[in-house]
Amino acid sequence: MAVPKRKKSRSNTRARRAQWKTSAPTLVTCPNRACGHPTLPHTACPNCGQYQGKQVLAV
């Protein structure tokens, strides 16, 4: 098993972690014409409760 010979310094550790970036979630508009609310893809709309043209949530 590989074992590091030296301890990683704080500056190197923080420089490596600085490359972790968050990205904004992808949003799509609700296909319901009356709603049009931005939602996450492949999820029911929290505003109108529809998914793929069917009512799945009681809102």
Going from the C-alpha of 10 to that of each of 7, 13, 14, 23, 50, the distances in angstroms are: 9, 5, 6, 25, 49
Q: What is the residue extent of each domain of the chain? A: 25-59
pLDDT at position 21: 84
- For residue 27, the one-letter residue type is L
pLDDT at position 48: 92
pLDDT at position 29: 93
Quick one: which H or E segment has residue 55?
strand 54-55
* Phi and psi at residue 55, to the nearest 5°: -80, 115
pLDDT at position 41: 95
Model confidence, pTM: 0.59
pLDDT tens digits for range 1-57: 899 999 999 999 999 888 888 889 999 999 998 998 999 999 999 999 999 989 998
